[in-house]
Amino acid sequence: MPRVDKIEFARLTGERPRPAGANARLGPHGQAVSPPVALITLDDGSTGFGWARVIEADAREVIGIDFDALFDPESRLVRPEWRAWDFALWDLAAKRAAKPVCALVAPSPVARPLCVPCYDTSLYFDDLHIGSDEQAADLIGAQAAEGVDRGHTAFKIKIGRGAMHMELDAGMRRDVSVVHAVRRVVSPTGRIMVDANNGLNHNLACRILAETAEANLYWLEEAFHEDPVVYQALRLWMRENAIATFIADGEGLASPSIEAWAADGAIDVLQYDLRGRTFSGWIECGARFDAAGIRSAPHNYGDPLANFYAAHLAPAIARFEMVEWDEATVDGISAPGFSIRDGAVAVPDTPGFGLEPDLVHFRRAVADAGFVVRR
């Protein structure tokens, strides 16, 4: 069996099409991205490339191990102790099988081409410097139009301006104006989600849903810190007011009880972070969520590589919702064959995840500030 012979690691740099502003709890997110990536080489010359938040000591632990021993023979997932390397290992396994990752993890043959629904997640508080609600809403609407030009039909809008960055009532009015402006840009059937980053409470959540009812919101995300009592109260109010918006949560430091609350009907969509849970971990989560009738929507923000990972994950989960698409380019990584059209990302048949590193660029970054560990 081939063994892990060499690991190279570096951070690469890239940027979004425009700077990302604040959300309900944080200041501006900026334009730069800097994904940590690893290239794993086996002693037969095969390689896998992927996101990895690791240190050199982690690499020394995996050097020399049989490749097959990194995967559990029953689940066929990467063993929990090796999941720091999860994305690169899946890339390597799929390349060795001469298949795209999605074909390895799907329970049945994947349609070709695989097209997975996705949404633009770029609509932040880029309007805080503007005094007029109308002008502010026009700005965010124009940003949504940029997303439409890139092929998106679904959008997530940050709300909760009144939690920190604006006076409460003024912030709520601004949130409502922005939602309606985006709906004017998006087709009547296009999905619009809102994400409050825990910046609301029960009464404010009811207000935002009531005042945007005509916009037909698809889901309300992280309305407040998870609380099953408050969520059930919100659910009751929604039923009484004929609002069918889904409740989504679980992205951040979610309660260990959140899956039980979702199974009881308090939450419709769970959103554990894709990189934090790992690809293998999300396959496990997705199976549990499918069995419980819970929808899956892995969180992705801050690293564009996870755009592509989520698209490959989708066929493994029956109740997968959409890929959260954080548009950005990374110097030294290309993704030939991927495209977004009519609100879905088309996934090529390229073996692995379909991401191609420029090895000259990558190894320059390794030499500058990364590391190499050899057997």
Residues 80 and 188 in one domain: no
Q: Is the pLDDT of residue 108 over 90?
A: yes
In a domain, 109, yes or no: no
In a domain, 353, yes or no: no
Q: Is the pLDDT of residue 254 over 80?
A: no
Residues 77 and 120 in one domain: no
CATH of the domain at 40: 3.30.390.10
Residues 70 and 155 in one domain: no
Cis upstream peptide for 17 (omega within 30°): no
In a domain, 42, yes or no: yes
Chain CA centroid to CA 98, Å = 26
Matching residue, tokens 């609509």: 123
Residues 241 and 369 in one domain: no
CATH of the domain at 173: 3.20.20.120
User: Which residues, at least 6 apart from 18, have a Cβ–Cβ distance to it below 8 Å?
Assistant: 31, 122, 126, 143
Quote the domain boundaries for residue 67.
4-98+358-374
Residues 167 and 315 in one domain: yes
In a domain, 123, yes or no: yes
Residues 78 and 147 in one domain: no
Q: What is the DSSP letter of 24?
A: S
Residues 52 and 90 in one domain: yes
pTM of the model: 0.97
In a domain, 27, yes or no: yes
Q: What percent of the chain has pLDDT over 90?
A: 97
Residues 169 and 149 in one domain: yes
Q: Is the dihedral of CA 202, 203, 204, 205 positive or negative?
A: positive
Report residue 187's pLDDT band, with 50, 70 and 90 as the boundaries: very high
Q: Is the pLDDT of residue 253 over 80?
A: no
- Relative to beta strand 269-270, strand 323-325 is unpaired
Residues 49 and 123 in one domain: no
CB 112 within 8 A of CB 300: no
Question: What does pLDDT average to over the chain?
Answer: 98
Residues 60 and 205 in one domain: no
Distance CA 91, CA 282 (A): 16
Number of domains present in the structure of the chain: 2
Distance CA 91, CA 99 (A): 10
Matching residue, tokens 């919702």: 321
Q: Is the pLDDT of residue 255 over 90?
A: no
Residues 67 and 131 in one domain: no
Mean pLDDT of 201-208: 99
Mean pLDDT of 307-315: 99
Q: What's the CA dihedral at 96, 97, 98, 99 to 10 degrees?
A: -130
In a domain, 322, yes or no: yes
Least trusted range by pLDDT, from 30-39, 108-117, 167-176, 208-217 = 108-117
Residues 93 and 126 in one domain: no
